[in-house]
Amino acid sequence: MNYETFFMGVNLMVAIVGVGDTEMGKLPNLTSIELQALAAKKAIADAGMNVGEIDGIISSYTLSEPHPMPSTYLAEYLGLQPEFNTAMQLGGASGCAAVGLAQAVIKAGYCQNVLISFGENRLTGLGREDAIKRLSTFGHPQFEAIYGPTIPSFYALIAKRYLEEFHVTSEDLARVAVLHREHALLHPHAHMKKPISIDDVLTSKWIAEPLHLLDCALISDGGSAIIVTSKENSRSFKKKPIHLLGYGEKTTHEHIFQKDDFRLFGSVESGKKAFKIAGVTPNDIDVALLYDCFTITVLILLEDLGFCQRGEAVSLLKEGKLKLGGKLPVNPHGGLLSHGQPGTAGGLNHVIEAVRQLRHEADKRQVADANLALVHGNGGVMSVQSTLILGRDSR
């Protein structure tokens, strides 16, 4: 039995009933575990539940405060003795993948209320230079790392290939960064609070050509948490439950030198799986939360997930269709490029924004009549792809 057939016969109906986040940016005197705990307590309060009702925990790794058993550490810090706990190690795909895992363990009967809490003081605990050095471990030790590449340089290879094939320019990439900054200015917790122009992006320093500094995700401090429970349990919480309608995941490689085609990634398959399980199409989506570790990934994911044809993402951007008020608003919170990127919590922030949009709690950045959201996570160097379809109503 293949993946799609299996999940089409399974009730995927779990729901997110609580969300919580801290401010993003420079948060001195807060450790990673404290940021995770603060976000967790906000999510628990948002759900209107007691901390003792949590019987499952999914945490994640941090670079600034590494721990061999991060989920157990968080459980102890919160005073919990859960019946299930584990930690995600899928980079930027971890947030969406954690939701997929939560539904699996709830359906298996291992636990009822799963807390997913990620957070890191990556900015004040490491700083930009040390964070980039730690991330250099993504390179293969024998075949990549010896040449001194960084994560931005790996993504620059992908960007270069895309720009050449589709005649996209650095100015087009800059439009992605400007769009995200415009959206972030509407979010009270955003790391970046000043507008930028296309010229600002193009005159920011080169990180790895064709990527400038402002084409790259931020290094931030922050914490994010959500609570997942069964559809049946979700009715007992105070906020409107947001339902998981579809989930897809695909891993194609770990090291980019093993990828034989820089034009096709696992996001094509993860998206198709999620849409098939949910029984909807890209045209049905009201708001998209796309993993934006670099400006180039937004363009690639729009195409891989079926929102447009190959090479057409820039047209959506230029026509204003990705802005608030457009046909498909992308990352209304400002994404990793402007809202913040505190490690794996950055991807979980995309899930939180989707929940707030579907609850109609997004204030000035609210997408009108948002009923369906797509959230996509990308881990490694386009290595692991995870896609969620979330709905205001169950199906």
Domain coordinates of the chain in residue numbers?
Answer: 245-391
Mean pLDDT of 70-80: 97
Residue type, 117: S
pTM of the entire predicted model: 0.95
- List 326's β-bridge partners, or say none: none
Q: Does pLDDT of 37 surpass 80? A: yes
Smallest CA-to-CA distance from 112 within 242, 13, 230 is with 230
Smallest CA-to-CA distance from 342 within 32, 49, 90 is with 32
pLDDT at site 8: 46
Task: Kindly list the distances between the CA atom of residue 53 and the CA atoms of 44, 107, 237, in Å, as whole numbers in the listed order.
Answer: 9, 17, 12
* 2 — pLDDT class (breaks 50, 70, 90): very low
Q: What is the mean pLDDT of the chain?
A: 93
Mean pLDDT of 16-30: 97
How many Å apart are CA 218 and CA 123, to the nearest integer? 9
Task: Kindly list the distances between the CA atom of residue 95 and the CA atoms of 6, 82, 119, 336, in Å, as whole numbers in the listed order.
Answer: 23, 20, 11, 13
Tokens of 280: 């909807």
Structure confidence by residue, pLDDT tens digits, 229-246: 998 888 888 899 999 999
Tokens of 344: 């794996």
Mean pLDDT of 187-212: 97
pLDDT at site 114: 98
* 137 — pLDDT class (breaks 50, 70, 90): low
Q: Please give the residue that has the higher pLDDT: either 144 or 182.
A: 182
Smallest CA-to-CA distance from 55 within 115, 116, 119, 117 is with 115
Q: Which of the 8 DSSP states describes residue 337? A: I
b (16+ CB within 10 A) / e for 134-156: ebeebbeeeebeeeebbbbbbbb
pLDDT at site 188: 96
pLDDT at site 11: 56
Class of CATH domain 245-391:
alpha beta
